[in-house]
Each structure stands twice: as C-alpha cells, then as structure tokens.
Structure 1
Amino acid sequence: MINKSVFLSLLVIGVVAASAGTGTWAVISDTDSSEGNTITTGMIDLEVNGGGILDGNDEVIPVPILVEIPDMKPGREFVVTKQLMLHNNPGYVSLSITDLEEDGGELSEPEKEWEEAHPGSEDWGIGEVIVFDLSYRVDTTGNGVINENDAPAVVVVEYADYERLFTMDRDGDVFALGPDGNAAELPAETLIEVYQSFHMNEEAKNWVQGDTCTFTEIFYAEQLDYTGEEPTYIGPNLVDDD
C-alpha cells in the first residue's frame, strides 16, 4: 500500500508532466482574407449599321432602314450591305424577316391590260417573284475593314434554294449566321459585314408594275453559354408572351 507521502509525490509529478505536455501543442499560424468578391453577369450588345446601342447620353440610337430598293426590275439584282458588331462578348447572331405586307400600288395602263387578260393575277404579290441570298464576312485581320486579306464570305442561304421568299408563309423565318444556316460563333468587337442580295425573277410580267413589299428585319444576338456549344435554336421570340 502506497503511503501518503509517496502518493502526493506522484500526484505532483503527474501535474507537472501534464502542464509540460500542454505547452508543446502551441502552433505557428497565419490568416489572410479577401474582401469585395463579386459576381457580375456578362453583357452583349449588338450594333447594326451604327444603331441599336446607346449614345453618350444613354439614349438608344435607332437602327436605320436597312433595305430600300425603289426601282426593282425583272432580272435585276440589288446587294444590300449591313455592318454588325457584337460588343462585350462573342455570340451567335440570326436574322428574322417578319411583318410581311404587299401592296399593289398605283395601277398603270400596262398592268391593267395584263390583269384583264389574266384573270386572278390582280391578287398576285411582288413577293411571288422576289428571292434573296444571304452571306457574311468577318474582319479576321482586325483592321476595321473588310478586304481581300480577310476570310472569304460564309454562305448562309442561296436564293436558288429558297424560292418565293416574300410569300406570307415565310413570315417569321429565322436565318442563323453560319455555314448553310448553322449558327457559328462570331467574335466580339469585330466588324461583321452581312450581304443580302435581292433578285427579281426575270420572267416577271407587267402585273408587278408599281407593286410594293414591306417587311421588318430583326437581328438577334445571343451570348455564348458556358459550354460554348451551338444552340439548338437561335432567334428572337416573335410571339407575345401575354
């Protein structure tokens, strides 16, 4: 049996040993912090012929009329050039044609004779004999202009494959800018020239005299998603959500 003095000696030794052991667990450390972390959504702003962006007063610059052909004739071709630029982010771009309307215009004597000789032709519209093709080029050299040093034109649609464009059943069709209408990634802050070539059938007769077709062109830009994959659909919502 341990006597009292021995027991007290062992207790003191244990306390001293425990105290000494506790002191050996001290560590050297450092803490750093990062403040002001943010997440900001990306931006994309499509400029079309100098319009569709904000001016210095934060007012929207309207997109001008893009197609104005006052004297179309059978067999004629008119090429309309449009300049686009995606600001802030690369993306996909499409063109939609909607709000198609046809007007017979002022009746001329030759047109009247033709319609009298061909009953029913008075209901025909100029869209029956007008088609277009669509292509574009990108300023791949980055000098702010399109020239022979840039990549060749990319064909979106050829008029030979898209007959009678301006009939009402074509209203709302969407054309993605890319080879054969397949959406292609377009760079930001880079000039893109779009070429729209309108053709009137050379066999159109006197019934087209003075006829007019009006329409709206909608260019739509969509920022790339995080995967960078081609979208399944590229085009504006042409149906009211209401």
Structure 2
Amino acid sequence: MTTILVTGGTGTLGRLVTERLRADGHEVRVLSRHAQPYAVDLRAGGSALDVALGGVDTVVHCATSPRGGDEQAATNLIAAARRAGVGHLVYISIVGVDRVPLGYYRSKLAVERLVQESGLGWTVLRATQFHDLVVQVLQALAKPPVVLLPARVCDQPVEVAEVAERLAELAAGAPAGRVADLGGPEVRTFESLARAYLGATGRRRAVVKVPLAGKAYRGFRAGGHLAPERAVGKGTFEEYLAGRFGGGTDGRRG
C-alpha cells in the first residue's frame, strides 16, 4: 500500500478521508497546524513540511480556509511535493468556482490552476456544499425571529462521508485530471432546506425571501454552484438532520 499525506486531516472532510484510507490499509500521515507529529502551517511552509512529505507517494489536499491564504498554502505544498518526488496530488474543490464570482471560490479556482500547472500527477474533484455547511448557514440565519433567505436560490447539499469515500478512491488510483463532479442527490430551494432545518431543530420562525444584489448572488441564483446532471450522492438533507438533531433538542439549545 502507498504512503498518503492528508492536509487538513483533522477537519470535517480530512478526518473521514484519513479514516477511510487507513481502513483500506494505507499508511496515512495527517498534516494540520496542530496535529503532531506533522504540525505544519502550510501558509508558512518551512522544513517541517519537507519532513512531512518525505517518502510520501500521494497527497490529498483538503486544507482550506475561507479567511484566505489558500493560494500561498498550495504554492508551498506543491514546491515541497516536487522536492519530495510526490507522484500524485489530489485536490478537493467546489462546484461552481469558475461560474460564481465569490472571493473564496476565486481562491479555490486559483488553487485548481496551481495544481494543474504543478508538474505533478494530479486529480481535481469538485463537490457541492456539504450538509453541515448548509446547517451552519441556517443556524446563523435562524437566530433572529425572522429567517431572511436569498430569493430564488437553490442548493444541492451532499453528505461529506460520500465525498471522503470518493477522495480516498481517487487517492488510491492513478492521476486522473479533472474528474466528474460529485453532487448531492437533490437540487432544493433554499427555502425548503430552511424549513426542513427549522422543523428538525424545533424552531418556530417566519421565513422571508429577500432579493439581493451583486454578481455573486446572480451566480448563485443562476445555479452556477449546482450539478444537477451529477446528482450521484445518496444521503439526503433530511437524513443528515435526523442523524444530527434527532428530536430537535440540540437545535433548541442553539
């Protein structure tokens, strides 16, 4: 079996990728800012990154931050991977990074290009939004007594474990370039997702749809972040809610 390094290996996605790869018999190194023995800040790089990559066959790059720094982190990772002779770099991106002009999406697209131009064997998978990210957004929106939602916006949430399974499969294989997107099983209006969340968490809120302005909103409204032709995920939003909130106690506390 191969030696695989997972960046962001303690995060929501990276942790599951790590578990799956280890279950399949691979030697897996977890790289994050605080996880020993490979505690590395990718934005800073340095000799610790070279140590982490020594003898590694494949890197699965899950580390990311909407607060910025992804491009510098990828630049440092790619340079170190070249020095180490890594044969395969797998990167997880987001559906719509080339169609929705959101700052974080632009950064993800820039990293895709760095990966493609790295000189390494590479694979890029784009996925739609994870269920837990949708819940994070809805939790914030549901704090006031009225839930204000962007009008005419849909989403296609996917189960993170399914994305992890696909990434592990890709990491175990040969470099494949840009592979088919992975979308959740249903394209849903944001209103229907909000009402499902409110019901699962026992909240009673009025829901109001508000038209917004800006290029990013127009991109989301046009469905640039969706992949209806790749609705291959199985786990539904309601199944995720049931598993996370059960009868709604956790939601009422929040």
TM-score (norm 1): 0.24
When you count helix as a share of all residues, which structure comes out higher?
2
| Structure of greater Rg | 1
| Larger relative strand fraction | 1
Larger RCO of the pair (alpha carbons < 8 Å, separation 6+): 1
